[in-house]
Chains A and B, each alone.
Chain A
């Protein structure tokens, strides 16, 4: 089925007919998630790997469209205020250029996310530095740059807030009535009544900084506008249908007049979940204005300064324990910095809230969380999505609790781990196996934790380099929270083209994590073809259905499951109506498809999301099954702190995790290793320096990520407990590994130095401020 020939008219509609004819697939046998498999679980080669290795993969900046112009953005230089005047330097011949402002927006001037508070282009007022005010396009890239510099904007500045604390003071209101973008209250049992009975009460405050995704490919979009066809956008993005939805709103166009196509994407990590909706709107507005395709690809300085980052956070814990070190109560307060507009702050806050109590059984829990608005570039999705912030706090806090009550941090955790049948803070019963003890045992054994700690304690007495080990134990909820998946209502499946290609039909995208590979593995396995016989349909909203966004570690589990079901459904369709035998060769399969096509006109099998039974979630009370499944992990970090330079370096890192079925061991290990490397950066290297709300270190030379010489050896071990509702038993994997490194590393630093650091990124300058002063006399004199 050629998308061009069929126009953009809904393939999903036609396939819905097919589905209804053959009924929902509750009747189809589901392959046992424990069954022996040929392809799933094997280290098959990356589906699009060869093109990437040959340098043939086409990223958006590699693509040219006939008659293409280039676009650029004029951005606010103040954090908050009114736009008084916009002056266009007369020395420029502005007739050559296309200029677009808020006035040119045909539909609604907002980016469709959760709320609609973020404008596509600022209209009379700006709320953060680098906010987009107007857009310029020209055939010549150099001329566009000169034109941007030739726009003079005068502002009437307003007071701005830049930190959580400033926003909390509420003496300057920058969003809504009270600066609060979102708040949650989660309550279990009776926290206030628990303090009296407590043998120990321990408090702590933990802070995390902003973090930049630093995908090596900057954001980029090419857009075209046609009065008949509407808007078409190609680009580096995670969620074609998010962009599609946003473009519909900005242009006031119906579904079939907007088409979004993902190009090969050079890294995303959440940084291309929502931002591309803004960029695509910009490029398309210019395309409409100038009548030509418009390419907008950011350079590194602009991408760093103007696009989303991880939410900074402050988490406070107050914990009650009994005399044996068992948790009695947790009182947790979370504050995140959401930036100037709400964007994804509510869902990030939700995940932070739900991950804040850690993998522990505790009868009384209260979490009060708030996302605060500041006049900074809106923060957004980044691998972990609130969990790294929350896990940093609880896992650091557990070590502080252990120290305060005189208990070993490993034993404290063991004593309080969740087990099968326990309930979480949301009263979710752990019905799937919880094997934290086993993961912990293995991590301790692999890292030789106890023996090393003893040895380091000895060596540290005389060595200038202090060594220590630290652990973190945690879970990551797979997929969307609560009823999120029901709301997404994903549709996905497989088809066979007239040319005899079996294709996976999803809007789930590849950006390195392995979507193309694992989904074709699943389809090939479930249909009964070889891996090479199945390809991905182009990630084009004109061709594929909406299988939901490629976020929340949901692709293998949720979408994989849909592909599994749709594949089985396809085989059943061919058996019933095209004479496909019980056992078949590849040739027989495609012959049956040809016969089927002769009757039905096409060979398509789609399935819609079905929630696992007994998913109960109360969005108001924050109670019930918060996530359909959890991935679990224990991390161990070995860190060396050099007392000459105050630098901490990770010398070695161990991770033991349970993510359901491992669909592809090479890709899965790659996800863990990459996530850990980012987590190490989060802990020790990556700092966003804001000056007046603008990122001052917006270059790769001064936003520091670890190089090949900085990353330690990383050990990865999987335990597998297939999850019956995930694709071939898979649960989420992509975000899990970013949750553990920061607390494990800072726990190791505490072990090495005896000093409790509670803030990341922890830089040598910060370590120096707290390590024992070597020569008090000189230090005082030198100040």
Chain B
């Protein structure tokens, strides 16, 4: 344990409005801490620089799953256990339910939150590829009010985002229009549990009249932040799933991917396996999509 508990102050006002008031009163001073699965690791390594933490753990206004006919609203303070045990998510957003089982193991899932995963902004974030192919919208909140941004625009660079210093992620909205889509997600880690992603790929698609009428592909660790693979999508959209399409999609992904070498894996591995995952998605699409 290399962190010093005495060097950090932490408060837990208990309500959303109290937290927002604090963030607004002293912008940049307070770091929100939810389940601690990221910040407490930094603390133990002696790398927690923020001297002031405000707990957003288990605040009812942040921890909820609500459905309307059009969309599902996931509170930023929902844990991954909350998400993976929700019936609507399991039925209509299986990629997110699956991704929720990827976070560490059971104990981590009981504490890690959706907002924490997103705001931490790792290119390897487990929830991001699923959110991206579900057209997620992020709702941010501060004393100044609420605003929504498409999730695909939320991350702006490596560990940089649109989040203002006085804002929290209030809700992640997912439109309930993917139940009929072909859905694919796969994570490649160093082992089957307790693994940070080397690369992951998610895909949703519809086939109408033998051609792809909608397609979304997103990846972890193929860019400085979780990203839609637009070139790959372009190579797929409007086409049937033929060997030519698969070739073209693969080439496009290999071209647009910008992975790096790091302690976990190599750029080459990420690129090649990312392309293999894309082919796997397309092969499944071909099987289930049919020609109708």
Q: Check A-B contact in the complex, CB < 8 A.
A: yes
A781 touches B191 (CB 8 A): no
Partner of A765, one of B1, B255, B269: B269
Contacts of A709 in B (CB 8 A): 191-193
A782 touches B273 (CB 8 A): no
In the complex, whether B247 has a CB less than 8 A from a CB of chain A is yes
In the complex, whether B156 has a CB less than 8 A from a CB of chain A is no
Contacts of A301 in B (CB 8 A): 2, 45
Type the 1/0 row for B133-176, where 1 means its CB is closer than 8 Å to any CB of A. Answer: 00000000000000000000000000000000000000000000
A768 touches B273 (CB 8 A): yes
A701 touches B192 (CB 8 A): no
Complex Cα–Cα for A646 and B275 (A):
13
Q: How far is the CB of A53 from chain B (nearest CB, A)?
A: 20
Type the 1/0 row for A675-711, where 1 means its CB is closer than 8 Å to any CB of B. Answer: 0000000000100010000001101011010111110
In the complex, whether B245 has a CB less than 8 A from a CB of chain A is no
Q: How far is the CB of A6 from chain B (nearest CB, A)?
A: 40
In the complex, whether B188 has a CB less than 8 A from a CB of chain A is yes
Type the 1/0 row for B189-226, where 1 means its CB is closer than 8 Å to any CB of A. Answer: 01111111000000000000000000000000000000
Contact status of A765 and B266, CB under 8 A, knowing A645-B276, A707-B105: yes
Contacts of A697 in B (CB 8 A): 263
Q: How far is the CB of B88 from chain A (nearest CB, A)?
A: 27
Complex Cα–Cα for A647 and B199 (A):
13
A707 touches B192 (CB 8 A): yes
In the complex, whether A442 has a CB less than 8 A from a CB of chain B is no
Find residues 570-607 in chain A having any chain B CB closer than 8 Å to their own CB: none
Complex Cα–Cα for A745 and B73 (A):
47
Contact status of A145 and B192, CB under 8 A, knowing A765-B269, A775-B247: no
A644 touches B273 (CB 8 A): yes
In the complex, whether B277 has a CB less than 8 A from a CB of chain A is yes
Contacts of B264 in A (CB 8 A): 702
B191 touches A685 (CB 8 A): yes
B277 touches A707 (CB 8 A): no
Q: How far is the CB of A450 from chain B (nearest CB, A)?
A: 30
Contacts of B81 in A (CB 8 A): none
Contact status of A644 and B4, CB under 8 A, knowing A765-B265, A768-B269, A778-B254: no
Type the 1/0 row for B252-292, where 1 means its CB is closer than 8 Å to any CB of A. Answer: 00110000000111101101110111011000000000000
Contact status of A782 and B2, CB under 8 A, knowing A685-B190, A768-B272: no
In the complex, whether B6 has a CB less than 8 A from a CB of chain A is yes
Type the 1/0 row for A756-783, where 1 means its CB is closer than 8 Å to any CB of B. Answer: 0000000011001000001100110110
Complex Cα–Cα for A689 and B190 (A):
15
B191 touches A707 (CB 8 A): yes
Contact status of A647 and B188, CB under 8 A, knowing A707-B105, A768-B272, A779-B272: yes
Partner of B4, one of A142, A696, A779: A142
B190 touches A704 (CB 8 A): yes
In the complex, whether A619 has a CB less than 8 A from a CB of chain B is no
Residue of A nearest to B272 (CB): A768
Contacts of A779 in B (CB 8 A): 272
In the complex, whether B8 has a CB less than 8 A from a CB of chain A is no
Q: How far is the CB of A405 from chain B (nearest CB, A)?
A: 35
Complex Cα–Cα for A782 and B255 (A):
7
Partner of B191, one of A145, A704, A782: A704
B263 touches A696 (CB 8 A): yes
B2 touches A299 (CB 8 A): yes
Q: How far is the CB of A102 from chain B (nearest CB, A)?
A: 26
From DSSP, what is the main secondary structure of chain A's interface residues?
Answer: loop
Contact status of A706 and B188, CB under 8 A, knowing A644-B273, A645-B273, A782-B254: no
Find residues 63-119 in chain B having any chain A CB closer than 8 Å to their own CB: 105
B269 touches A764 (CB 8 A): yes
Number of B residues contacting the other chain (C-beta, 8 Å)?
35
Output the residue of A301, A689, A696, A782 with the most chain B CB within 10 A.
A782
In the complex, whether B250 has a CB less than 8 A from a CB of chain A is yes
Contact status of A644 and B272, CB under 8 A, knowing A707-B105, A707-B191: no
Partner of B263, one of A146, A702, A710: A702
Contact status of A778 and B250, CB under 8 A, knowing A145-B2, A644-B277, A706-B191: yes
In the complex, whether B177 has a CB less than 8 A from a CB of chain A is no
A646 touches B190 (CB 8 A): no
Contacts of A764 in B (CB 8 A): 188, 269, 273
Contact status of A710 and B191, CB under 8 A, knowing A697-B263, A782-B254: yes
Q: How far is the CB of A60 from chain B (nearest CB, A)?
A: 16
Complex Cα–Cα for A689 and B264 (A):
10
Complex Cα–Cα for A174 and B39 (A):
42
Contacts of B255 in A (CB 8 A): 782
Find residues 247-304 in chain A having any chain B CB closer than 8 Å to their own CB: 299, 301
Complex Cα–Cα for A768 and B264 (A):
15
Complex Cα–Cα for A708 and B104 (A):
13
A781 touches B251 (CB 8 A): yes
Complex Cα–Cα for A644 and B184 (A):
14
Complex Cα–Cα for A580 and B173 (A):
84
Complex Cα–Cα for A365 and B164 (A):
72
Contacts of B247 in A (CB 8 A): 775, 778
B254 touches A781 (CB 8 A): yes
Contacts of A646 in B (CB 8 A): 269, 273
Q: How far is the CB of B188 from chain A (nearest CB, A)?
A: 5
Contacts of B273 in A (CB 8 A): 644-646, 764, 768
Contacts of A710 in B (CB 8 A): 191-193
Complex Cα–Cα for A753 and B192 (A):
22
B194 touches A707 (CB 8 A): yes
Q: How far is the CB of B264 from chain A (nearest CB, A)?
A: 7
Complex Cα–Cα for A775 and B1 (A):
48
Partner of A782, one of B196, B266, B271, B279: B271
Type the 1/0 row for A110-130, where 1 means its CB is closer than 8 Å to any CB of B. Answer: 000000000000000000000
Q: How far is the CB of A144 from chain B (nearest CB, A)?
A: 11
Contacts of A696 in B (CB 8 A): 263
A708 touches B193 (CB 8 A): yes
Contacts of B46 in A (CB 8 A): 145
Q: How far is the CB of A634 from chain B (nearest CB, A)?
A: 27
Type the 1/0 row for A639-660, where 1 means its CB is closer than 8 Å to any CB of B. Answer: 0000111110000000000000
Complex Cα–Cα for A768 and B271 (A):
12
Output the residue of B2, B41, B45, B190 with the most chain A CB within 10 A.
B190
Complex Cα–Cα for A782 and B4 (A):
47
A644 touches B276 (CB 8 A): yes
Contacts of A689 in B (CB 8 A): 263
B280 touches A644 (CB 8 A): yes
Contacts of B250 in A (CB 8 A): 775, 778
Complex Cα–Cα for A499 and B263 (A):
58
Residue of B nearest to A782 (CB): B254
Contacts of A145 in B (CB 8 A): 2, 4, 46
Q: How far is the CB of A729 from chain B (nearest CB, A)?
A: 39
Type the 1/0 row for B217-242, where 1 means its CB is closer than 8 Å to any CB of A. Answer: 00000000000000000000000000
Contacts of A706 in B (CB 8 A): 191
Complex Cα–Cα for A706 and B196 (A):
14
Find residues 120-172 in chain A having any chain B CB closer than 8 Å to their own CB: 142, 145-146
Complex Cα–Cα for A145 and B45 (A):
12
Q: How far is the CB of A75 from chain B (nearest CB, A)?
A: 14
Contacts of B263 in A (CB 8 A): 689, 696-697, 702
Pairs across A and B, CB under 8 Å, 30 listed: A142-B4, A145-B2, A145-B4, A146-B4, A299-B2, A301-B2, A464-B280, A644-B273, A644-B276, A644-B277, A644-B279, A644-B280, A685-B190, A689-B263, A699-B45, A701-B41, A704-B190, A707-B192, A709-B193, A764-B269, A765-B269, A768-B268, A768-B272, A768-B273, A778-B247, A778-B250, A778-B251, A778-B254, A782-B255, A782-B271
> Which A residues have a C-beta under 8 Å from some C-beta of B?
142, 145-146, 299, 301, 464, 643-647, 685, 689, 696-697, 699, 701-702, 704, 706-710, 764-765, 768, 774-775, 778-779, 781-782
Apart from A710-B193, A774-B276, list 6 A-B contacts with CB within 8 A. A645-B188, A704-B190, A709-B191, A709-B192, A765-B268, A768-B272
The 3 closest A-B pairs by CB, nearest first: A709-B192, A782-B254, A709-B193
